[in-house]
Structure 1
Amino acid sequence: MLTEVADGIHKLVIKFPTGMGEVNCYLIEGKNGYTVIDTGTDSKEAKDGWKEVLSSGITIEKVVLTHTHQDHIGLAKWFQQEVGIPVIVSNLGYEEMKKNRVSHGRDRLNSLVIKHGGVALPNKINEDNYIYDFEPDGFFENHQHIPLGEELYEAIWTPGHAPDHFCFYNENKKIMIMGDHVLNRISPVIGLWSGEEGNPLQDYFLSLAELEKYPADITLPGHGDLIPDLHARINELSAKHEYRLQQVLQSLTVEGKTANQICYEVYGTVNIIFNLSSFMATLTRLLYLESIGKVERLELDGIVSFKRKVI
């Protein structure tokens, strides 16, 4: 069940029936027990996985979160209140938790999707507000060095996939705990899950550039296999985004199209209700292109469309 991936660090794959279907959690050895990185969703399957680990007699000192998406924070409240383990989150993550405690987050997301040409989402979207309804036991901030096991790791703010996303870097051992910022075989979705417009793809590009400064011999992602060469993978992801940006630009006309229309053209026939990630990826690319002056928006009767900017 536990696979050693570095000296004193073990990977645990926690499975669940929704979303990505599994998440990599990391257990880092320390004198007072293991530090756990991320938890899995609040589901019976994920709890069963952790109960099996706990029944082996290991001691967990604390839980530390890379970001507050459901597959990473989902069991944090359970760990704290049922198992008695303290939970540490970033100050930015705590702000996201407070936003997600209220149900109108789903209303904002619905409004955003409809505004950009989509249809109303089912009520099950963003219903798990209760998983955020607890007070963390400690906090960290950007560039703070925090203890994970017996080693100090630098917390590096890497927004893009999530506004509160952090990676953790051990300079001595050249270990990068990546969360969802860079994955080995898939591209992390860059979305606007809070329903608030922003420019997360620009944030993502800047965060990728920030990580270029860190030499990493071991890179531990939140999903899938370990990343053998972090900088090469960063270059691959950047190139893929540039390719998709060109696809979006080529799909645009001077008359304008909505994000939902472009999504269908780029990704094929997708149902926005079941494939919200494709819609989000398209929308955030359009917002990025707008920010660099390549496209401009039109708005008619509350619906936004984008057109190629003629220079």
Structure 2
Amino acid sequence: MSIPYAQPRDWTEPGAHPVVPGVHRIPIGLPFEGPAAVNCYVLEGPHGLVLIDPGWATSRTQATVDQGLRQLGYRLADVAVCVATHHHWDHYTQAYRWRTTLGTALYTGYGERHSIGEFGLERSRFPHHIDLLVRCGAPDLARQVANQAFAEYERSVPYGPPDGWLHPGERIPVDGGELEVVGAPGHTRGHITLRHTARDVLFSGDHILPRITPSLGFEWAPEPQPLRSFLESLTAALAVPDTVLLPAHGPVLDSTHARVRELLQHHEERLELVCRQIRRGGGTAYDVARAVPWTRHECALDELELDHQMLAVTETGAHLEVLRLRGAVDVRVEDAVRRYIPG
């Protein structure tokens, strides 16, 4: 595949950048440490503009999108529909605010109803991860997560259900064709991607990222087997023609398939690494997470921030569950703790 329009060297460079005919990308800064920006994609639709993943609800986000649209000859009032690939605030909340201020419609995947419906500021930031961490053999970490409060910038974000839910196979009309909704669970259980077959592009959200592997089950109501779902949905992406990859974070890539193969290979290597630890004597997901390196900097578990420690342990548990389903390991449950042994 090839990208018709040259992209800036720095993918976060402000402005509305053409990607393929009829599609522009507006990078939007984020109010937290992590990805430097989120890519909002702009398309023309039959009743106005269609925006995909228009960022975290802040005045800065609105100003950035407004400036980008003006560069293209539009105004915020021209936005008719917003589609969020998933419910995370850096993809969803600005669109949710515009429902009131601009009268735009907001849609996201049907599977996101679980986490959106269970959200509440009066609860822990990750209520279901507490029991999950206990099952992973990390009770001290579970207590820390249970006591973790929402940051002020998180408390002020507008949030609630969308105007409608999208199901795999549905199509959203845009100029020059349609966006086909594709189920892509893993990062969240209702994550969707959008295929624009007439333009040979895939809007991948956080499902397929060009530089990092997305976290798994990072939501208020995670599914039981997020890694299995992620691997299955990645494999399914190889069964359709290749496209240009338009991710939510990071630069545009000229091949979705190439990046999918890299992600599948990464997780196969990670599964083997986890399995080797079990062969050395077995243990809990927490035991394994403490024994293996994390991030490209090969950090120890306790060198990570609390949220990342939580994700490292629960993702190790997800890898162990895939190994169990494959018959490579077995599990024994003792006092609610899952301990794995060679299969």
Q: Is the Cα contact below 8 Å between 2:127 and 2:220 reproduced in 1? A: no
* Amino acid in structure 2 at the alignment position of 1:2: A
**1:163 Cα deviation from its structure 2 partner:** 0.8
- Please point out which of 119, 136, 146 is paired with 2:162: 136
CA–CA distance in structure 1, aligned partners of residues 242 and 326 of structure 2? 31
**Native 8 Å contact 1:161 1:200 kept in 2:** yes
> What's the counterpart of residue 45 of structure 2?
30
Whichever residue aligns with residue 8 of structure 1, its letter is G
Q: Amino acid of the residue matched to residue 84 of structure 2?
A: L
Q: Choose which of 30, 48, 51 in structure 2 pairs with 1:16.
A: 30
Q: How has the CA–CA distance of structure 1 residues 104 and 185 changed in structure 2, closer, same or farther, with 3 Å as cutoff?
A: closer
Counterpart Cα distance in 2 of 1:206 and 1:129:
35
Please point out which of 186, 194, 198 is paired with 1:168: 194
TM-superposed deviation, 1:295: 1.5
| Bigger mean CA offset, 9-18 vs 78-87 | 78-87
- Which stretch of the first structure deviates more once superposed, 4-13 or 166-175? 166-175
Which residue identity does 1:273 align to in structure 2?
L
TM-score by length of 2: 0.80
| Correspondence for 1:94 among 97, 109, 113 | 113
Residue aligning to 2:3: none
Question: Displacement of 1:149 after TM fit?
Answer: 4.6
SS in 1 for 2:341: strand
Please give the alpha-carbon distance, in whole angstroms, between the structure 2 residues aligned to 1:66 and 1:72. 7
Alpha-carbon distance in structure 2 between the residues aligned to 1:47 and 1:91: 26
Describe the SS at the equivalent of 1:189. Answer: coil
Which residue of the partner structure matches residue 117 of structure 1? 137
Structure 2 Cα separation of the partners of residues 308 and 259 of structure 1: 14
Alpha-carbon contact 1:31-1:150 (below 8 Å) kept: no
Q: 1:142, 1:156 within 8 Å by CA — same for their partners in 2? A: yes
What's the CA shift string for 1:144-183, capped at 9, x where partnerless? 1222455212111111121101111122222211111111
Distance 1:305 1:45, change over 3 A: farther
1:214-225 map, 5 Å: 214-225=240-251
- Per the TM alignment, residue 10 of structure 1 is displaced from its structure 2 partner at its CA by 0.8
What is the alpha-carbon root mean square deviation over aligned residues?
A: 2.6
Give the total of aligned pairs.
Answer: 309
Residue 80 of structure 2 is matched in structure 1 by 61
Structure 1 partner of 2:330: 296
1: CA distance, partners of 2:35 / 2:105: 26
Native 8 Å contact 1:263 1:278 kept in 2: yes
What is the one-letter code of the residue matched to 1:183? L
Aligned to 2:91: 72
Contact 2:243 2:257 in 1 (8 A): no
Alpha-carbon displacement from aligned partner over 1:55-81 (angstroms, at most 9, x marks no partner): 765221211111112221132221212
Q: Give the Å deviation of 1:129.
A: 7.7
Cα displacement (A) at 1:293 = 1.7
Give the 3-state SS of the residue equivalent to 1:74 in structure 2. Answer: helix
Q: 1:117 to 1:52 in 2, by over 3 A?
A: farther
2:104 aligned counterpart, secondary structure: coil
**Are the aligned partners of 2:26 and 2:65 in contact in 1 as well (CA < 8 Å)?**
no
Q: Could you say if the C-alpha distance between residues 250 and 143 of structure 1 is closer, same or farther in structure 2, counting changes exceeding 3 Å?
A: same
The answer as to whether partners of 1:161 and 1:190 remain within 8 angstroms in 2 is: yes
Contact residue 193 and residue 202 of structure 2 kept, 8 A: yes
Paired residues of 2:216 and 2:315 also in contact (CA < 8 A): yes
Partner of 1:181, secondary structure, is: coil
Matching residue of 1:269: 300
Compute the displacement of 1:285 (Å): 0.6
Letter in 2 for 1:108: H
**Residue 46 of structure 2 contacts residue 174 of structure 2 at CA under 8 Å; is this kept in 1?**
no
Using a 3 Å threshold, how does the CA distance of structure 1 residues 300 and 139 change in structure 2: closer, same or farther? Answer: closer
Give the CA deviation at 1:197.
5.5
CA distance in 1, matches of 2:257, 2:287: 34
- Rate the CA distance shift 1:131–1:232 in 2: closer, same or farther, 3 A: same
Output one character per residue of 1:189-208: Cα deviation in whole Å (capped at 9) or x when no partner.
Answer: 22353355611111112111
Shift in Å at residue 219 of structure 1? Answer: 1.8
The answer to whether residue 219 in structure 2 is matched with residue 200 in structure 1 is no
C-alpha separation in 2, matches of 1:250 and 1:228? 35
Q: Within 2, Cα distance between the matches of 1:55 and 1:47?
A: 12
Summarize the alignment of residues 173-252 of structure 1 with structure 2, pairs less than 5 Å apart.
Answer: 173-191=199-217, 193-194=219-220, 196=222, 198-252=224-278
1:257 partner letter: G
Structure 1 residues 93 and 191: CA distance shift in structure 2, 3 A: closer
Q: Which segment drifts farther, 119-128 or 292-301?
A: 119-128
- In the TM superposition, residue 44 of structure 1 has moved relative to its aligned partner by 5.1
> What stretches of structure 2 of length at least 5 have no aligned partner?
1-14, 294-298
